[in-house]
């Protein structure tokens, strides 16, 4: 179906609820609806199998308009339907929940309620997601009148209800500090012997308030801020942002620049999946595979340093194009690295599908069927391993993917082994695509002029990060900074599937299940509260902070 | 299903040298495009300040000593810099470079992290002004 | 033996200090071999010694609800168990210092004492990680103890005695690993399980339960457990070498044989993924015990047939 047909269908499905439609961009349909019609509209879209919920954008429209806006984005192929709801700008206006129909919406609704101060009626979990436990009540960061002085810490309250100890069942906490986690996050698993009976999680340990921070920086500075959301999906973040802003400014990026962006994206995917392979192997206890895959990852990183100047956070994208060119020498270096890497990747694919001890830890573990993947809103390789054909590069090609497409890799089993298989095969596809582009690099300029002020408007761009779909909603007011920037990263959607699948498995499988969805905590969070409590002494955060400041003052004095 | 699929790799590794880089005894070579510490050439600077405006980390500041005589000094904070290279792009006169050989920047005190670039007497002038600030003008 | 000679051999050579030092040497060899298999450099020769000295000098933090006597006493008991077991085994290629009828069982019991102390220490620690680690540790003990004992029983039955010294003497004339290959394999795998080496390190799984039963230990207690583990490594390898690879002969050749076993163990460590506790127990309690019993059956039949 073409995008027009899809949008036509969506218009018909939503006709009973619509208070006004508009087409802000060729592939987008905006439908204004009443808050009370939200569950019915969602049900209408789901029953017609039109799209999946991709993100929920909360915005404060400001004092003049005096309204709050909540936008629900549904994506199908390249078409995006946004349900726009206006709410009165008061403390805790009501909006109905759609978590009963779409489980992943629970995460978005938690974010909505804590960031914008909207009361989501009927949501199953209203505990805090990103904000720390000692954040004062009634202070909402995304409101226009928010200032940092309002956020003075209060007495922390435990927001996750205790799962308790029943008989010989107890709760095992994993995180925020745990050798299994490469980044902090808090999981609680209720175990009965070794079998897991309940799972709960808390995020926000590396939340940096990036969405709000972009509003205080100009368009160029934001490129680098967004790059540093995550170390291994950095290029996808800049690509999504640059694409969106270039659309708003109606600037055409030259073909050569787009091709170079795709090459770097492919190399980043290689980097990310090799890193993931090592980490997942380490979680399984297979340190040898960890060491070897990270050794080979050095090849990619050295190549990226040669091409872009840095091993991580490449900074090759500028608004309007790219910074550096690829000469014949660079092409040779790329081919050489690809020769080596393709051989090693085939070898790793062979290992993860044939090594008996590794298969014992991955085959049949965490099996997620196609229906479950759809229901949980899984994205990226986690979804593709269950047979769900969802890949933004193919559904909604962007940039150079029109000219240099990639093939879709799926697997049927949906277990951990399938996820390993899908990622390794994706790497082989990436290597092939990189080679093709390098051999057929279009001629042209590297970058075009870009205005300092971007015309007013809003746009949505979606790219395929190594972990799944990254969703960007960019709104400009015509100035030098964005008015609103909403980022929804793929890992947030994949948590539901990981947690649900862990129930019934053993505790030993948990690190592998978490690793299997390739979580990127930094991508999720954009305030760190650390509470340490051993049985004999409770140290509150403020006490620990004072202790730290005093201690370093002493050290400085003795120097 | 094979037991020990990585056997060949392991066996071979026993006879090949380890891949570990023996830093700091052997220093790796950095790529030509690698962005090390920033260097500023005051000769071509016109004081447009685009580099400082576009810096995402507020690491660069152009101090204007005398606009007419084109006496500019750049104050650069190594610790704030993100080594992104945007300043190089923003500057139309190619005053800024980030050579690839100056990257071992760790220091034991924070004074080393603020660098001043300019013509020698300009820099001396600025340091002098900073050390002896002028009293604020009397009002009334 | 005169009192002085006994004291010297107990405290300095071949038990005591030199045993502890050789434990560290074996641990270093193991880590270095695994590192080389993984294409990296590995630690320098004094690393385990440096680790121990560092641990001994650090503050020891006791969880509030842990029982005092158990917390401080268990590391000592564990280490003493391992050191005492060494008195009856041919460590470093020298004849056992002491021996009496049936000391095979005593030595094996003393080695298990170390694992049981670890399990008890895990229960005593107030954290959930140590409790899960203790459970896994004791489960693995049950699964690996029996086949390991049966595998060592094979040469004992062939030699017709329960004394380690005599079994080693008998094994010196007959190469057991050729005569009882199945028993040899069972002994090696059982050895890795007993020592909680990868792939059987579920009790100590770093990415699941932080450090297993010893999570709450630090400083001196951890150092003593650590030394106990490396002593156990020496003792158990020496037993398997003495029984299966040609008894006690030249100390240098004995050392070489133990290093070959260590090489093989390091290779297995690098090649395999950590198994879940139910997989380790499930696999070995069935296969291992069955194979060992089969081997013993063969020996009994052969003995009956030959005599």
Answer whether residue C11 is part of any domain.
no
Answer whether residue C45 is part of any domain.
no
Chain A nearest CA to C200, separation (Å):
10
Burial class (CB in 10 A: 0-12, 13-18, 19+), B15: exposed
Task: Give pLDDT, residue A536.
Answer: 34
Q: In the CATH scheme, what is the code of domain B36-100+107-131?
A: 3.30.70.3270
Residues of C in contact with A506 (CB under 8 A): 276, 278
Task: Give pLDDT, residue A157.
Answer: 65
Q: What is the pLDDT along chain B (140 residues), one digit of tens a residue?
A: 778 788 888 888 888 888 888 888 988 888 999 999 999 988 888 888 899 999 999 999 988 888 788 888 889 999 899 999 999 999 999 989 999 988 888 889 888 888 888 888 888 888 888 888 777 666 64
Nearest-angstrom CA–CA distance, C209 and C214? 10
Buried b (16+ CB within 10 A) or exposed e, A97-109: bbbeebbbbbbbb
* pLDDT tens digits, A43-67: 999 999 888 999 999 999 888 888 9
Residues of B in contact with C40 (CB under 8 A): 18-20
> Is residue C40 less than 8 Å (CB to CB) from chain B?
yes
* pLDDT tens digits, A101-143: 888 898 899 889 889 989 999 888 788 888 888 888 888 988 8
Angle between the C219-244 and C47-56 helix axes, to the nearest 10 degrees?
A: 140
Q: Which of A295, A298, A351 sits opposite B5 (nearest CB)?
A: A351
- Out of 2.60.40.420, 3.30.460.80, 3.40.50.300, 3.50.7.10, select the CATH number for domain A3-159: 3.30.460.80
Average pLDDT over residues A367-381: 89
Compute the count of residue pairs across chains B and C with CB atoms less than 8 Å apart. Answer: 29
Answer whether residue C22 is part of any domain.
no
Q: Is the pLDDT of residue A439 over 80?
A: yes
Answer whether residue C271 is part of any domain.
yes
Q: In the CATH scheme, what is the code of domain A210-524?
A: 1.10.645.10
Cα separation values, A557 from A471, A544, B113, C86, Å: 49, 20, 20, 53
Number of Cβ within a 10 Å radius of residue A384: 26
Answer whether residue C232 is part of any domain.
yes
Q: Which residue of A has its CA nearest to B34?
A: A309
Q: Do C207 and A534 touch (CB under 8 A)?
A: no
Residues of B in contact with C36 (CB under 8 A): 13-14, 18
Compute the count of residue pairs across chains A and C with CB atoms less than 8 Å apart. Answer: 82
Nearest-angstrom CA–CA distance, A32 and B117? 56
Q: Which of A3-7, A43-47, A516-520 has the lowest mean pLDDT?
A: A516-520
Q: Do B4 and C271 touch (CB under 8 A)?
A: yes
> For chain A, what is the largest distance between any 2 Cα atoms, rounded to a whole number of angstroms?
74
Q: Where do the domains of chain A lie?
A: 3-159, 210-524, 529-559
Task: Give pLDDT, residue B137.
Answer: 67
Confidence of residue A429 (pLDDT cuts 50, 70, 90): very high
Task: Give pLDDT, residue A538.
Answer: 43
Answer whether residue C182 is part of any domain.
yes
Task: Give pLDDT, residue A516.
Answer: 82
- What region does C16 belong to: left with phi over 0, alpha with psi -120 to 50, or beta? left
Confidence of residue A161 (pLDDT cuts 50, 70, 90): low
Average pLDDT over residues A19-41: 91
- What region does A478 belong to: left with phi over 0, alpha with psi -120 to 50, or beta? left
In total, how many domains does chain C have?
Answer: 1
Answer whether residue C264 is part of any domain.
yes
Q: Do C40 and A291 touch (CB under 8 A)?
A: yes
Domain housing C277: 61-306
Nearest-angstrom CA–CA distance, A427 and A274? 9
> Is residue A189 less than 8 Å (CB to CB) from chain C?
no
Chain A nearest CA to C35, separation (Å):
9
Mean pLDDT (chain A) is 87
Task: Give pLDDT, residue A510.
Answer: 83
Confidence of residue A542 (pLDDT cuts 50, 70, 90): low
Which residues of chain C fall below pLDDT 70?
1
Per-residue tokens: B7:
């056997």
* Tokens 């709801």 belong to residue: A85
Nearest-angstrom CA–CA distance, C149 and C145? 6
* pLDDT tens digits, A449-502: 999 899 999 999 999 999 999 999 999 999 999 999 999 988 888 888 888 888
Specify the pTM: 0.90
State the pairing for strand pair A52-60/A67-76.
Answer: antiparallel
Q: Do C38 and B13 touch (CB under 8 A)?
A: yes
Q: Which residue of B has its CA nearest to C266?
A: B10
Burial class (CB in 10 A: 0-12, 13-18, 19+), A296: buried
State percent of chain A over pLDDT 70. Answer: 92
Provide the terminal-to-terminal Cα distance of chain B, rounded to the nearest Å: 92
């Amino acid at each position: 179906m073409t995008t027009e047909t899809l949008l036509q269908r969506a218009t018909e499905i939503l006709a009973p609820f619509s208070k006004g439609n508009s087409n802000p961009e060729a592939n987008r349909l905006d439908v204004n609806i009443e808050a009370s019609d939200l569950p019915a509209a969602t049900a209408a879209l789901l029953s017609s199998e039109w799209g999946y919920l991709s993100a929920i954008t909360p915005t404060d429209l400001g004092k003049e308009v005096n309204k709050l806006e909540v936008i629900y984005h549904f994506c199908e192929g390249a078409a995006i339907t946004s349900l726009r709801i206006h709410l009165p700008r008061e403390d805790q206006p009501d909006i109905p929940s759609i978590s009963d129909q779409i489980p992943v919406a629970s995460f978005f609704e938690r974010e909505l309620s804590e960031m914008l101060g909207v009361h989501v009626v009927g949501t199953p979990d209203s505990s805090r997601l990103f904000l720390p436990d000692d954040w004062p009540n009634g202070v909402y960061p995304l409101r226009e009148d928010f200032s940092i002085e309002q956020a003075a810490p209060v007495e922390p309250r435990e927001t996750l209800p205790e799962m308790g100890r029943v008989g010989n069942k107890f709760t095992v906490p994993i995180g925020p500090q745990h050798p299994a986690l490469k980044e902090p996050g808090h999981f609680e698993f209720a175990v009965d012997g070794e079998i897991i009976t309940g799972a709960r999680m808390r995020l926000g340990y590396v939340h940096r308030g990036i969405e709000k921070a972009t509003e205080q920086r100009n368009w160029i500075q934001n490129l680098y801020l967004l790059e540093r959301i995550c170390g291994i999906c950095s290029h996808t973040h800049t690509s999504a942002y640059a694409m969106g802003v270039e659309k708003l400014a109606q600037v055409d990026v030259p073909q050569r620049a787009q091709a170079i962006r795709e090459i770097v994206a492919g190399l980043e995917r290689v980097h990310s999946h090799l890193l993931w392979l090592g980490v997942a192997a380490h979680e399984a206890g297979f340190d040898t595979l960890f060491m070897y895959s990270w050794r080979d990852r050095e090849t990619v990183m050295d190549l990226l340093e040669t091409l872009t100047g840095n091993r991580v956070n490449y900074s090759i994208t500028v608004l309007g194009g790219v910074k550096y060119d690829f000469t014949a020498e660079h092409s040779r270096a790329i081919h050489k690295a690809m020769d080596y890497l393709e051989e090693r990747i085939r070898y790793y694919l062979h290992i993860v599908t044939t090594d008996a001890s590794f298969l014992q830890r991955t085959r049949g573990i965490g099996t997620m069927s196609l229906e479950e993947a759809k229901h949980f809103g899984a994205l990226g390789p986690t979804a593709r391993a269950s047979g769900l054909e969802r890949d933004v590069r193919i559904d909604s090609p962007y940039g150079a993917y029109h000219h240099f497409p990639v093939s879709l890799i799926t697997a049927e089993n949906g277990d951990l082994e399938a996820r390993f298989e899908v990622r390794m095969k994706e790497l082989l596809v990436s290597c092939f695509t990189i080679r093709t582009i390098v051999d057929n690099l279009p001629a042209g300029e590297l970058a075009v002029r870009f205005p300092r002020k971007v015309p007013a408007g809003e746009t949505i761009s979606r790219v395929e990060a190594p972990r799944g779909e990254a969703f960007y909603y960019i709104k400009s007011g015509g100035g030098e900074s964005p008015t609103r920037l909403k980022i929804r990263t793929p890992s947030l959607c994949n948590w539901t599937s990981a947690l649900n699948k862990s129930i019934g498995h053993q505790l030993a499988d948990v690190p592998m299940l978490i690793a299997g969805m390739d979580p990127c905590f930094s991508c999720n969070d954009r305030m760190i509260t650390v509470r340490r409590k051993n049985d004999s002494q409770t140290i509150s955060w403020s006490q620990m902070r004072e202790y730290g400041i005093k201690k370093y003052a002493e050290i400085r004095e003795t120097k | 299903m094979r037991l020990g699929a990585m056997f060949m790799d392991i066996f071979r590794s026993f006879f090949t040298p380890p891949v570990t880089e023996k830093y700091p005894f052997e220093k790796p070579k950095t790529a030509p495009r690698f962005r090390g510490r920033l260097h500023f050439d005051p000769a071509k600077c016109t004081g447009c300040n685009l580099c400082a405006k576009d810096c995402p980390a507020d690491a660069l500041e152009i101090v204007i000593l005398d606009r007419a005589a084109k006496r500019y000094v750049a104050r650069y904070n190594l610790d704030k810099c993100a080594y992104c290279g945007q300043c190089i792009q923003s500057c139309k006169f190619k005053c800024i470079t980030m050579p690839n050989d100056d990257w071992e920047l760790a220091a034991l005190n924070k004074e080393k992290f603020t660098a001043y670039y300019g013509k020698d007497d300009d820099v001396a002038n600025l340091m002098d002004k900073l050390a002896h600030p002028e009293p604020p003008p009397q009002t009334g | 033996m005169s009192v002085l000679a006994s004291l010297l051999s107990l405290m300095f050579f071949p038990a005591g200090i030199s045993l502890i030092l050789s434990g560290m040497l074996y641990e270093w060899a193991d880590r270095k071999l695994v590192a080389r298999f993984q294409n990296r450099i590995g630690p320098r020769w004094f690393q385990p010694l440096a680790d121990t000295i560092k641990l001994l000098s650090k503050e020891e933090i006791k969880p509030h609800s842990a029982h005092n006597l158990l917390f401080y006493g268990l590391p000592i008991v564990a280490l003493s168990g391992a050191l005492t077991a060494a008195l009856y085994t041919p460590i470093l290629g020298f004849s056992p210092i002491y021996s009496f009828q049936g000391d095979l069982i005593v030595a094996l019991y003393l080695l298990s004492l170390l694992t049981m102390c670890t399990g008890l220490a895990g229960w005593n620690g107030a954290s959930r990680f140590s409790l899960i680690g203790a459970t896994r540790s004791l489960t693995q003990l049950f699964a690996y103890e029996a086949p390991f004992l049966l595998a060592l029983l094979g040469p004992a039955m062939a030699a017709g005695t329960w004394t380690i010294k005599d079994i080693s003497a008998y094994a010196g004339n007959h190469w057991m690993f050729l005569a009882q290959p199945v028993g040899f394999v069972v002994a090696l795998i059982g050895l890795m399980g007993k020592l909680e080496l990868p792939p059987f390190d579920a009790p100590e799984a770093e990415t699941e339960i932080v450090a297993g039963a010893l999570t709450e230990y630090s400083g001196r207690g951890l150092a003593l457990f650590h030394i106990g583990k490396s002593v156990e490594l020496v003792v158990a390898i020496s037993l398997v070498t003495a029984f299966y690879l040609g008894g006690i002969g030249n100390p240098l050749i004995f050392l070489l044989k133990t290093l070959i076993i260590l090489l093989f163990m390091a290779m297995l460590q690098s090649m395999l993924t950590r198994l879940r506790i139910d997989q380790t127990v499930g696999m070995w309690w069935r296969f291992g015990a069955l194979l060992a019993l089969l081997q013993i059956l063969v020996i009994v039949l052969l003995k009956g047939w030959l005599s």
